[in-house]
Amino acid sequence: MRAGAALLAAALGAAAIAASVQAQQVWKVQTSMQAGEFFYQVIDKHWVPVLAEMTEGRLRIELTPANSVVPYNETMDAIAQGVLQGDLTATVYFSGRSKAFAILGDLVAGYDHPDQLMTYCYHGGGRELLQEAYDKFTGGAVKVIGCAPVARESFTAKVPIRTIDDLKGKKMRSPEGLTAEVFKRAGASTVALPASEVYTALEKGVVDIADFSTYTMDKSFGLHKIAKYPIYPGIHSMPVLQFTVNKAAYDKLPKSLQTILDVWYRAMIHDLRMRNDISDRELVAKDMADKASGMEIINWSQKDRDALRRIARGAWEDFAKGDPLAQKAYESNLAFMRKMGLLD
């Protein structure tokens, strides 16, 4: 009897080990970042191991940089097909499919702080609308885990833009779409240029101002050597970094791991935002103290920020027309902003 019990225990133990090994999963997740970028490094070196620890090794992520598996704007399809198991990428990349992705991914000049936009995602209906958009274009094959921005971008300026009126007549580098439309209505003349040409365009006077990135990123690209009037905190862009995964793979996870994925993403986003905020503030303080640099850090008044939001509202409304999903996203944002006191 004892020998039989021992054999049974050994068999059950071996089966449990085999089941545990079989349950371990590695998900390939493509990002919208290059491997050398600050945010990529933090996610890969800190938060990827954290997920493995939280799940006791049952779920691991293999992070890959932008365009490493599929083009940056095709991760949606790759996840639906199982080529990728997930992405950490910019929602606005899918604006060509529906303008809703632009509105949900970066409501230009809409929010004053990343926390407000993250609150909209989780408690204002943003995540549900994003899921609705993904269901439409993938037939329910993609699950939205979370959506939130990691930073409010600075505004790069070669000339002082101290008030909204100073935008009038200025030449501005801007991506096509909602951002360009907002600044056109504010009086700027927009030029569509790739990010790789921003430095040269500013240096040669092709543009006076540019929509580019965070204060830290602008500094790392050397933009402040020639554009010495940055607006910080920024006035316009707060791009969402979404986390979406293959729905079939997600459904196979036990409920505990599904919950861990949600908590992991929220904690990671908060951490990235704090790290970027520290970096931005340290650089701003250093530049303000360095009188010989010729830098002038401009902080718009709330009056001017509100004025740009009112102008932007008309652009949002017109942008959403003709796209029912975008219209729904627009109306949802407006309702939330009124509730939060950001709009009358």
- The answer, yes or no, to whether residue 22 has pLDDT greater than 70, is no
- The answer, yes or no, to whether residue 14 has pLDDT greater than 60, is no
Q: What is the mean pLDDT of the chain?
A: 93
For residues 107 and 124, give the distance between their C-alpha atoms in angstroms, rounded to a whole number: 14
- 11 domain residue, yes or no: no
The verdict on 53 and 170 lying in the same domain is no
For residues 127 and 237, give the distance between their C-alpha atoms in angstroms, rounded to a whole number: 19
- The answer, yes or no, to whether residue 6 has pLDDT greater than 80, is no
The verdict on 60 and 169 lying in the same domain is no
| Per-residue model confidence (pLDDT) at position 23 | 63
The verdict on 83 and 163 lying in the same domain is no
Of 228, 249, 278, which residue constitutes the final position of a domain?
A: 278
The verdict on 112 and 126 lying in the same domain is yes
**Prediction pTM value:** 0.90
The verdict on 137 and 170 lying in the same domain is no
Average confidence (pLDDT) over 60-66: 97
The verdict on 100 and 70 lying in the same domain is yes
Average confidence (pLDDT) over 154-169: 97
- 218 domain residue, yes or no: yes
- 14 domain residue, yes or no: no
* Residue 218 near residue 195 (C-beta atoms within 8 A): no
For residues 30 and 21, give the distance between their C-alpha atoms in angstroms, rounded to a whole number: 25
- 265 domain residue, yes or no: yes
Sign of the CA dihedral with 51 first, then 57, 59, and 63 last:
positive
Count structural domains, the chain: 2
Give Rg (Cα) of the chain. 23
Assign residue 137 the CATH number of its domain.
3.40.190.170
Which tokens is 271 given? Answer: 């951490």
DSSP state of 53: H
The verdict on 89 and 135 lying in the same domain is yes
| pLDDT tens-digit map of 188-238 | 999 999 888 999 999 999 999 999 999 999 999 999 999 999 999 999 999
Which residues span the domain enclosing 245?
A: 25-150+238-278
- Give every strand in the sheet of 189-191, ordered side by side: 156-157, 209-210, 171-173, 189-191
The verdict on 110 and 212 lying in the same domain is no
- The answer, yes or no, to whether residue 87 has pLDDT greater than 80, is yes
The verdict on 113 and 254 lying in the same domain is yes
The verdict on 135 and 210 lying in the same domain is no
The verdict on 56 and 181 lying in the same domain is no
- 123 domain residue, yes or no: yes
Percentage of the residues of the chain whose pLDDT score is greater than 90 = 91
- 10 domain residue, yes or no: no
Average confidence (pLDDT) over 131-149: 98
The verdict on 245 and 328 lying in the same domain is no
Q: pLDDT tier at 272 (50, 70, 90 boundaries)?
A: very high
| Per-residue model confidence (pLDDT) at position 273 | 97
